[in-house]
Structure 1
Amino acid sequence: MSKKIVIIDDDIDLCTLLTKTLQTEGYQVKACHCGETGLAEAITGDYQLVVLDIMLPKLSGFEVLTGIRQRSNVPVLMLTAKDGEIDKVSGLRMGADDYMTKPFSNHEFLARVASLLRRYTVFNTSGELPVQVLDIGKLRIDPLRHEVRTEHGVIKLTAKEFDLLYFLARNQGRVFTKKQIYRSVWDDEYAFDDNNIMVHIRRLRKKIEPDPENPIYILTVWGVGYKFGGDPA
């Protein structure tokens, strides 16, 4: 069955181009041109990916993203303006999985889409799921359920946050550079983005660490990268 993607962008010409590009690759595509309609479609249409612009009528892309994250961990690829560095960081902090800066090539767009869909499918299709449940300290990371638990209950993560956490945790103690992490989790070495990784690490720490300012799980190895530690208690 082909994957379903919804594009939420008020640029009709761009939507038409992206729709044709995706359909050529066999995807089912729906385009919405305002935030209100897009949010309703994204949370009721059983999509595997949301492509979301920031500047939208009725509801902004950030408001749409917030609405999606209240109900779903579906991957969200945000589209930002060329000079929208603050928008990129804000989107990642609010739960976007990746972003692209306009203008972009069809080749890069399809590569990002394929990467996000591949990760999402692996963690949500029973026949392809990793089977190793990880119990580290007070964390339980269950890829079968795409679920993370602490002593306080289930922690809600986006698809990309879960991918990043599971990758580091299953390689506990091993140090990875940011480029190695990007290549393994984003599956896209040529589009390496240092800021993207740092924002995701910061978000994860806020969600899983007892004290995000003094992490015990996701540790920084200064001058090298990150590793997964673990509370022995």
Structure 2
Amino acid sequence: MGNILLISERPKPFGDLVHLLEKSNYRVILRKYDVFLQKKQSDMIFDFVLYDLLPCHEENLRHISLLYKHGSIPIYVFGTEYSELDEVAFYDAGANGVVRMPLQTLAVAARIKSVINLLEKTSRVINKVKIGPLEIDLHNRVVKKEDKVLKLTNVESKILHILIQNKNTVVDKDAIIHFAWDDEDSATDNALGIHIARLRSKVEFDQKHQIIDTIWGIGYRLNYHTDY
């Protein structure tokens, strides 16, 4: 059903999780950090990444950033000792979930399978779309705007994805948060508004035709018209 990369020097704490995933027909590949770093990014064909945190915070951020640059692969990081600021830094570097050890194995396995199933479903619907002068590549998280290539964050890409799927229709804020955030407890209306503002700065191209409308108290709408 899919390939999952586990990057760790200590596979034992992940044994039960790996067993559950393999029972569900996922293939889990273990790689140590040095092997992972030696691999070319183009050789990494996985549907999900599980990253076991190192003691060195800077190394963790570097590794997560490398994984994030590869494309739309969900990244969950696992650790025992990290602060709230560390957790924020992991998300900023590209992580989609931060899980504290020891594992709640059943819940984590269910979350991983749910994310993969959702990505498989949505990837069949849309990957690339053109709106006026914009060329949007959701798989690689980039927007081509005139001569500029703008990189989307993971959350921005997911927000844009659900808005495009429901173009010209108001999408409820809760629905966007549920789709765009793996950890909904860390998402707020204010956080969504900040991401929408950043997304607008990348995709708006004509003041006469605002692409993303705010529907106050409800949500957001992507305006798609053939006369752009």
Q: What is the aligned partner in structure 2 of residue 22 from structure 1?
A: 21
* Cα distance between partner residues in 2 of 1:196 and 1:6: 30
* Cα distance between partner residues in 2 of 1:77 and 1:46: 16
Q: Considering only aligned residues, what root-mean-square deviation do their CA atoms show, in Å? A: 4.0
Amino acid at match of 1:16: G
**Structure 1 residues 144, 93: CA separation in 2 closer, same or farther (over 3 Å shift)?**
closer
- Mapped pair 1:102 → 2:104: no
- Mapped pair 1:156 → 2:156: no
Local SS of the residue matching 1:37: helix
TM-superposed CA distance for 1:108, in Å, is 1.7
TM-superposed CA distance for 1:93, in Å, is 1.4
Local SS of the residue matching 1:60: helix
Q: What is the aligned partner in structure 1 of residue 8 from structure 2?
A: 9
TM-superposed CA distance for 1:12, in Å, is 2.9
Q: What is the aligned partner in structure 2 of residue 64 from structure 1?
A: 63
State whether residues 6 and 28 of structure 2, in contact with CA within 8 Å, keep that contact through their aligned partners in structure 1.
yes
State whether residues 5 and 50 of structure 2, in contact with CA within 8 Å, keep that contact through their aligned partners in structure 1.
yes
TM-superposed CA distance for 1:63, in Å, is 1.2
Using the size of structure 2 for normalisation, the TM-score is: 0.70
* Cα distance between partner residues in 2 of 1:157 and 1:19: 31
Amino acid at match of 2:175: Q
CA deviation profile, 1:164-185 (whole Å, cap 9, x unmatched): 21113434562523x3223344
Q: What is the aligned partner in structure 1 of residue 207 from structure 2?
A: none
- Mapped pair 1:183 → 2:181: no
Structure 1: gaps of 5 or more residues: none
Aligned residues with identical type, % of pairs: 19
Local SS of the residue matching 1:110: helix
TM-superposed CA distance for 1:6, in Å, is 0.7
Q: How many residues align?
A: 219
* Cα distance between partner residues in 1 of 2:45 and 2:70: 12
What is the 5 A alignment of 1:28-43? Answer: 28-34=27-33, 36-41=34-39, 43=41
Using the size of structure 1 for normalisation, the TM-score is: 0.69
CA deviation profile, 1:52-76 (whole Å, cap 9, x unmatched): 1332579832111112233333221
What is the 5 A alignment of 1:196-215? Answer: 202=194, 205-206=197-198, 209=201
**Structure 1 residues 17, 30: CA separation in 2 closer, same or farther (over 3 Å shift)?**
same
* Cα distance between partner residues in 2 of 1:201 and 1:79: 28
CA deviation profile, 1:150-196 (whole Å, cap 9, x unmatched): 2343433466542221113434562523x32233445x7xx632338
* Cα distance between partner residues in 2 of 1:88 and 1:58: 10
Q: What is the aligned partner in structure 2 of residue 85 from structure 1?
A: 84
Q: What is the aligned partner in structure 1 of residue 129 from structure 2?
A: 133
Local SS of the residue matching 1:11: coil
203-212 vs 21-30, which moves further: 203-212
State whether residues 155 and 195 of structure 2, in contact with CA within 8 Å, keep that contact through their aligned partners in structure 1.
no
TM-superposed CA distance for 1:51, in Å, is 0.9
Q: What is the aligned partner in structure 2 of residue 227 from structure 1?
A: 220
Local SS of the residue matching 1:74: coil
* Cα distance between partner residues in 2 of 1:38 and 1:199: 33
